[in-house]
Amino acid sequence: MRKLDQNSFAEFIREGDKVVEFSADWCVDCKRVAPDMPAIAEKFAGQFEFGELDVDEARSIAEEYNVKGIPTFIVFRNGQEAGRLPSRDAKTKEQIETFLSEMSQVQK
């Protein structure tokens, strides 16, 4: 999972299918799903490239995408938001995998 910041975010999402996890160091739910993220990224490696953005370090991007809670996962297709898993639904590995499976089925 690639660490993103204010400078690298736009370039990362510009082309292809990307998943960005909006998170923060202090976030309990982010810490809960963190151990599962390498396996999730590997499972979906052929479909998505994964990045992580700290909302405290890139507050303006979080505000631009109206991220209210974390972790929030947003799928981008060629720079455009294609789908979102808000924090209330991103508490378990199963919830994240179900969302990504559904997003991988959506017509590009």
Both tokens of 79, joined, read 């720079």
56 Cβ contact partners less than 8 Å away, ≥ 6 residues apart: 24, 25
Of the CA atoms within 13 Å of residue 84, those in its CB half-sphere come to 15
Mean of the pLDDT values across residues 59-84?
97
> Catalytic residues, which ones?
27, 30
With beta carbons less than 8 A apart as the criterion, state whether 22 and 55 touch.
yes
pLDDT band at 90 (very low <50, low <70, confident <90, very high): confident
Summarize pLDDT for 16-64 with one digit per residue, the tens: 999 999 999 999 999 999 999 999 999 999 999 999 999 999 999 999 9
Q: Which domains does the chain have, with CATH numbers?
A: 2-105 (3.40.30.10)
